[in-house]
Amino acid sequence: METGSEVQAHINTLHQAVWELAAIATALGGAGPTDPGQRRAAEDVLVETGLMVPSADGPQPCTGLIEVTGGNPIGVASQASTAILQSAAVLSGAKMWTTQDDAAIVAQGRASAQGARPFKMFGLPMMAGLGEVMSGPSPVMLDVGVGVAALAVAYCEAFPTLRVVGIDVFPRALELARTTVDQAGMTGRIELRHQDVADLEDLDTFCLGWLPAPFVPRPALEIGLPRMVAALIPGGWIMVGHGKFDENGRSNALTRFQTVAFGGTAINNSEAEELLRGAGLELVATLPTPQGAPAITVGRRPRTV
């Protein structure tokens, strides 16, 4: 950008984008209680952007939006509101993700819950032997950084016999998680612990472990990963979620900023793969994920140890 008018045009575009995200969250139900007039005005924005289409019953999601949401728009709405609420928290001086207000934490959890359905459809078939265990009588999953437990609930809904142990170091997140679990009727299937992954002591227990690097400080990740491996059953898998770092310098810089802003670990595909191999896992690979989703690197504990 060489001129002031170019800079101003870019800033104006960003201003508009923020309000378009707010309109998505408002129209699709991710912004909490909303005045009917606000909601209709937000729907008009989505009509103009092509995300909704007019109908006799009022604006309706376009075909592509229905496809993306799977008929449940809350996840997309939560993604939109999360971006706004988290950036506002950074500007307010938040240093860790749980120093945000409850609305931002809940929105983040709802957004993350979208990962269960595509995992079952696309990720699971690429993880040798895991499908049989997950459909068996007593699979157990470890959810590190359980947050508000929205992801844990989504996995239990996707796998009817699954139990989840969710750990987190933040008491306020666990309070919100208990409410989520109670409302979902999952108290018998989801165990919540106030625990750091670096202090994990379970052995030969879990068929699947989830580790979200952007929410885990590097020291805890490096100490906790070997403990997670020991906590897996032989043949069990670990999934590490992390940022996508490719040839898009702007996207890379934003991803790193988002991760560092809340005290997490910014790693790319090769770094994640190196961590998993260093922890003794086999069949290490970074799975393909759609645009907008985090990168997922997986590895299996050898069947014979």
What fold characterizes domain 114-300? Rossmann fold (3.40.50)
11-41 pLDDT, tens digit per residue, is: 898 889 889 988 988 888 755 556 888 888 9
Q: pLDDT of the chain along its 305 residues, tens only?
A: 778 888 888 889 888 988 998 898 888 875 555 688 888 899 999 999 999 999 998 898 898 888 776 666 777 777 777 777 777 777 776 655 556 667 667 766 676 777 888 899 999 999 999 999 999 999 999 999 999 999 999 999 999 999 999 999 999 999 999 999 999 999 999 999 999 999 999 999 999 999 999 989 999 999 999 999 999 999 999 999 998 887 678 888 888 887 887 778 999 999 999 999 999 999 999 998 877 778 999 999 999 75
pLDDT the model gives residue 48: 93
The residues, any chain, with a CB within 8 Å of residue 96's CB and separated by 6 or more, are: 170, 262, 263
**Of residues 240, 241, 238, the one with CA closest to residue 281:** 238
Given CA atoms 99, 102, 105, 107 in this order, what sign does their dihedral have? negative
Structure tokens at 176: 């919100």
CA 190 to chain centre: 18
Largest CA distance in the chain: 64
Q: Give me the residue spans of the domains in the chain.
A: 4-110, 114-300
pLDDT at 258: 78
Task: State the pLDDT at residue 245.
Answer: 81
Is this model's pTM higher than 0.85 or not? Answer: no
Q: Are 189 and 166 in contact (CB under 8 A)?
A: no
Structure tokens at 165: 């142990």
Transcribe 274-299 into DSSP letters. Answer: HHHHHTT-EEEEEEP--TTSPEEEEE
What is the spatial distance between Cα 208 and Cα 114, in angstroms, rounded to a whole number?
17
| Contact status, residue 168 vs residue 174, Cβ threshold 8 Å | yes
For the chain, first and last CA: distance in Å?
57
Query: How far apart are the C-alpha atoms of 24 and 222, rounded to whole Å?
Result: 38
